Amino acid sequence: MQPVNIELSPSSEALEGEFHQGDYLQRIGVRQISPSTSPFDPGYDPLTLEGHLQQSAHLMSILKISMACWIIANESATRRKVAAARRYGVPTVTGGGPFEIAVAQGQLSAYLDLCADIGVTRVECGEGFTEMPLPAAEVVKMAHQRGLQVQFELGKKHAGAFNAEAVDQLIEQGRKWLDAGALQLVVEARESARGVGLFDDEGNFNADFADRFASAFGFDIVLFEAPNKPSQFRLLDHFGPEVHLCNVRLEELLRVEIYRRGLHSDAFSNPKLRPRVENVAVQKAA
């Protein structure tokens, strides 16, 4: 038995068989949806990550390599993960935590050099547990010089659920980062979706505040962290299939996506999500 390096790659073979999933989905009225979930890797092994890419790359908008885990992992494993995502056409983004630490330790240049060298597409910036002394424009410029895109995370990790004033300030902060060149904004919910951002201490979802972000920025710009089943289902129930979710665990990605398409038993009764037979006709006519 010889040691081998495994590298999965997108299959170029034609599909086997006579009946296909895509045709069936069209028949039952499932609408076409472009990738609208950004899953995250909080420390999976490289093989598991590659398996998920093989299975679900077409559903991933951008893959987050989460927290500082990738910096202390075996560097070959980290590079392998980023390369695998690229092979499957999925962009990658590092999380906001290591960015904040880099700024606090006075090493932002070195951090961005490392991110660019590892090959990620984008970095997330934020002020979740630190204060940022640098202006947005300067940070974005430093990233762009290294070929890196920028997204910004709105919200504090340790300040509890939002109040109306906080929402106002975050929307203003988001605008500032967009003006400076950031591409997207992320609304913080941590790993719990409890006592943080849009979710109170019991995990209740504040739909009014969520609407304010959505109407201020639109679904192409604003992503909502949805780290667990209740937050995922509440956001999809409220907004329908267009909402862009992030921080979804890889093994939960398919469940989120069947919910988004009304194919989960809890989603099928929701008229915003349920597949419609009239869609069939429309798609056939197209």
86 binds a copy of itself (CB under 8 A): no
CB of 143 to a copy of itself, least distance (A): 15
Is 132 a binding residue for a copy of itself by CB under 8 A? The answer is no
For position 72 contacting a copy of itself by CB under 8 A, the verdict is yes
C-beta atoms surrounding 44 within 10 Å: 18
Could you tell me which stretch among 160-168, 208-216, 232-240, 250-258 binds a copy of itself (CB under 8 A)? 250-258
Residue closer to a copy of itself (CB basis): 179 or 266: 266
Q: Give residues 141-180 in contact with a copy of itself (rule: CB under 8 A).
A: 157
Number of residues that bind a copy of itself (CB under 8 A): 91
Report the residue number, 96 or 174, with the smaller CB distance to a copy of itself: 96
Within residues 45-64, the interface with a copy of itself by CB under 8 A covers: 45-48, 50-52, 54-59
